[in-house]
Amino acid sequence: MNHTEAVLAVSFGTSYLETCEKTIKAVEQDLAAAFPEAPVYRAWTSGFIRKKLRNRDGIEIPSPADALEKLLAEGVRDVLVQPTFLLQGIEFEELKETLRAYLTRFDRIRLGRPLLSEDRDLDRITDAVGASFPQLGQDEALVLMGHGTKLGANQVYRRLAGLFQERGYGNILLGTVEASPGLSEILGELDKRKPEKVLLAPFLFVAGDHAVNDLAGDGPDSWKTAVVSRGYRAECLTKGLGEYPAVRRMYLEHAAEAVPL
């Protein structure tokens, strides 16, 4: 290889290959178009998902550290790392730790921000998602399911929930599957509003396991089951945030603004 620059797109990963094409691969293709002088490499942080793909499909996806070793072996000296994470949460902090260990081995490592890192990001994601549901009727509610994190970055979800109300998307509710606001809070809000129909959609980069099972599954603990058991008519949409062109543009802008570690 004769290139000395590269882009490393880092994702948590997914074992759902169809949503991978529409989200992770779509962002990688956008990055390749935006940085034509630098080939784009892939790394996934989830060891569980990498192992599952290896055993099930014979697909090898490198970890960030493995990808960085490969870049060094190919003569890359300058790497731009853009994560597809939503928040500056646990995965992002661990990625920064990994990258810091390689600072002396590269001439430069630049790191782009996760999707929702600044106030302007919150405004833009609110409009990007809200504008994608122009058909939403006054007697309907759209419930978005985010992941949630134990870190302070989780406050983003509550701020976004408020922004949807403030920016004219009053029938959009946002909750998380592993933090707050949780499902019980969403159900309480639905019971106040009593919509005729509830749309359920993931507020996740990929529509993977959480979307298929926790959101739209038929099991007793799914959000769909909880909504239907309250007497609401429910419809599930499994479209990850990575499928929204406006969201992918945000990642490209964060990559363009990446700063050296």
Q: What is the mean pLDDT of residues 147-153?
A: 84
- Whether 127 is covered by a domain: the verdict is no
- Whether 123 is covered by a domain: the verdict is no
Least confident piece of the model among 6-20, 148-162, 200-214: 148-162
Question: 250 and 224 in one domain?
Answer: no
The neighbour count for residue 199, using CB atoms within 10 Å, is: 21
Name the residues annotated as catalytic.
Answer: 147
Question: 92 and 161 in one domain?
Answer: no
Confidence check: pLDDT of 150 > 90: no
- Whether 37 is covered by a domain: the verdict is yes
- Whether 237 is covered by a domain: the verdict is yes
- Whether 74 is covered by a domain: the verdict is yes
From CA 35, how far away is CA 155, in angstroms rounded?
A: 33
Predicted confidence at residue 134, as pLDDT, reads 83
From CA 221, how far away is CA 214, in angstroms rounded?
A: 7
Predicted confidence at residue 189, as pLDDT, reads 96
What confidence tens digit (pLDDT) does each residue in 165-189 have?
999 999 999 999 998 999 999 999 9
Local confidence band at 135 (pLDDT 50, 70, 90 cut-offs):
confident
CA distances from 84 to 12, 111, 173 (A): 8, 12, 23
What confidence tens digit (pLDDT) does each residue in 66-98 have?
999 999 999 999 999 999 999 998 899 999 999
Question: 250 and 209 in one domain?
Answer: no
Question: 71 and 169 in one domain?
Answer: no
- Please say whether the beta carbons of 250 and 122 come within 8 A: no
Least confident piece of the model among 79-83, 132-136, 190-194: 132-136
Question: 231 and 163 in one domain?
Answer: yes
When divided into structural domains, the chain yields a total of 2
Question: 253 and 155 in one domain?
Answer: no
Local confidence band at 1 (pLDDT 50, 70, 90 cut-offs):
very low
Give the distance, in angstroms, between the CA of residue 16 and the centroid of all CA atoms in the same chain: 14
Question: 97 and 56 in one domain?
Answer: yes
Indicate if the alpha-carbon torsion angle 5, 34, 11, 261 is positive or negative.
Answer: positive
- Whether 120 is covered by a domain: the verdict is no
Question: 138 and 88 in one domain?
Answer: no
Specify the pTM. 0.94
Predicted confidence at residue 12, as pLDDT, reads 97
CATH number for the domain including 228? Answer: 3.40.50.1400
Residues 55-66 as b/e (b if ≥16 CB within 10 A, e otherwise) read eeeeeebbbbee
What confidence tens digit (pLDDT) does each residue in 222-242 have?
999 999 999 999 999 989 999
Question: 108 and 15 in one domain?
Answer: yes
DSSP code at position 114: P
Q: What is the mean pLDDT of residues 35-62?
A: 97
Predicted confidence at residue 2, as pLDDT, reads 52
Could you tell me the residue range of the domain that residue 100 belongs to?
5-115+244-260
What type of residue is 191? D
